[in-house]
Amino acid sequence: MRVLITGGAGYLGTHTLLQVLAAGHEVCVFDNLSNSSPEGMERVKALSNRTFEFRNTDLRDRESLIERTKDFAPDAVIHFAGLKAVGESVEKPLEYYENNVQGTINLLYAMEAANCQNIVFSSSATVYGDPDFLPITEDHPLRSTNPYGRSKLHIEEMLRDLAASKPEFTAAILRYFNPVGAHKSGQIGEDPMGIPNNLMPMIAQVAVGRREVVKVFGNDYDTPDGTGVRDYIHVNDLARAHVAALDWTQDHKGARAFNLGVGQGVSVLEMIEAFAKASGRDIPFEIAARRAGDIASCYADPTRARAELGWSAELGLDEMCASSWNWQDSNPRGYEPDA
């Protein structure tokens, strides 16, 4: 298959790119490198021993997107590109709607121009808001409390509307829970710019000595140890789900959502303890105030993905922490060249 990967230079994109290449597909990456560096893709080339095309392309530029998509003529698109920081989305909502929603509208026009009917879309468990019940199934009501989440919801709705209007259109909407970890080589991994928003890169940067302490955002939630509970999923399991979703698009029609999670909750304190064990490092932490907008618990019912995509998560917390540590320890400053 000819597969276009938008946002393929990013964290989830590089790991997925590697597995899509390993599955034998021809790939082209579109990315504007606004939150990534070309180094990750260079490393994927070396690891995979395969080549792929890369176009420095901004999804906001519809004309060039249409031309370049027609040039590559994809059979399917995996659509990662977008902005993803919840807090920033509250400060800069228009940027989020422009990059995420308008960018996706442009991409859907470009796919139409290139006669491509299949898309695998990066959605998020954020579309469930503060859940009514756990574990969360795909039929749980959809809602959101911030512009980032609403951008994902709008895109999901557009994909469902498009599928209703075009019988040949197929969209696999993948709702990620909390992706963490890195490729086992330690060559590619999560490399956030500035202070990490998310727990795992924060723990990894404290473990490697880049930051002093992990702030635990609240220990008075209604959870077993009072700290937030999430469904952490290894990035390689997540990447493998995209290969399964690509296959699924080949013999299904319509828009269908799939939860991608392990199906088990892990607390902040459990994660810190598991990382300390995997790294052999002390992870200093202190209890801080709750973070605005956070929920107590969120974990998936991944039954549908198992039944319909033939996919389930295989890697556990120890592998998530060990691979994340291997990446951080080998690349203390991420993809930045050593000073």
What residues act catalytically? 148
The single-letter DSSP state of residue 229 is E
Q: Which residue is nearest to ligand UFG (CB)?
A: 228
135 preceded by a cis bond (ω within 30 of 0): yes
Nearest distance from C-beta of residue 226 to ligand UFG, angstroms: 11
Nearest distance from C-beta of residue 338 to ligand NAD, angstroms: 22
Q: Does residue 4 contact residue 30 with C-beta atoms inside 8 Å? A: yes
Site for ligand NAD in 34-63 (CB under 6 A): 34-36, 58-60
Q: Does residue 189 contact residue 334 with C-beta atoms inside 8 Å? A: yes
CA separation for the pair 235, 233 (Å, rounded)? 6
The single-letter DSSP state of residue 198 is S
Q: Which is nearer to ligand NAD, 11 or 275 (CB)?
A: 11
**324 touches ligand UFG by CB under 6 A:** no
Identify the burial level of 311 via C-beta atoms within 10 angstroms of its C-beta, where 0-12 means exposed, 13-18 middle and 19 or more buried.
buried
Of 53, 220, 294, 314, the one binding ligand UFG (CB under 6 A) is 294
Site for ligand UFG in 142-171 (CB under 6 A): 149
Of 59, 119, 199, 239, the one binding ligand UFG (CB under 6 A) is 199
**9 touches ligand NAD by CB under 6 A:** yes
Q: Match 């390689």 to its residue by tokens.
A: 236
Q: Which residue is nearest to ligand NAD (CB)?
A: 10
Instruction: Look up residue 24 and give its two tokens.
Output: 């034998």
Instruction: Look up residue 306 and give its two tokens.
Output: 């198992």
Q: Which does 61 bind (CB under 5 to 8 A by kind): ligand NAD, ligand UFG, none?
A: none
Q: Which does 268 bind (CB under 5 to 8 A by kind): ligand NAD, ligand UFG, none?
A: ligand UFG
**126 touches ligand UFG by CB under 6 A:** yes
DSSP-derived pairing of the beta strands 266-267 and 229-230: antiparallel
Which among 45-53, 160-168, 198-206, 324-332 is the span making contact with ligand UFG, rule CB under 6 A?
Answer: 198-206
Which among 4-12, 49-57, 124-132, 307-315 is the span making contact with ligand UFG, rule CB under 6 A?
Answer: 124-132
Q: Which is nearer to ligand UFG, 267 or 331 (CB)?
A: 267
Question: What are the DSSP calls for 14-29, one per residue?
Answer: HHHHHHHHHTT-EEEE
**33 touches ligand NAD by CB under 6 A:** yes
**268 touches ligand UFG by CB under 6 A:** yes
Which among 4-12, 86-94, 205-213, 323-331 is the span making contact with ligand NAD, rule CB under 6 A?
Answer: 4-12
Torsion, Cα 237 328 11 146, to 10 degrees, reads: 100
Q: Which does 103 bind (CB under 5 to 8 A by kind): ligand UFG, ligand NAD, none?
A: ligand NAD
How many C-alpha atoms does 86 have within 13 Å on its Cβ side?
16
The arrangement of strands across the sheet holding 76-79 comes to 53-56, 26-31, 2-6, 76-79, 118-124, 170-176, 254-260
Question: What are the DSSP calls for 116-160, one per residue?
Answer: --EEEEEEEGGGG-S-SSSSBPTTSPP--SSHHHHHHHHHHHHHH
> How many other C-beta atoms can be found within 10 angstroms of the C-beta atom of residue 47?
17
Nearest distance from C-beta of residue 285 to ligand UFG, angstroms: 8
Nearest distance from C-beta of residue 238 to ligand UFG, angstroms: 12
Give the binding site for ligand UFG (CB under 6 A): 84, 86, 124-126, 149, 178, 197-199, 202, 214-217, 228, 230, 268, 291, 294
Give the binding site for ligand NAD (CB under 6 A): 7, 9-13, 31-36, 58-60, 80-84, 99, 103, 122, 124, 176, 178-179
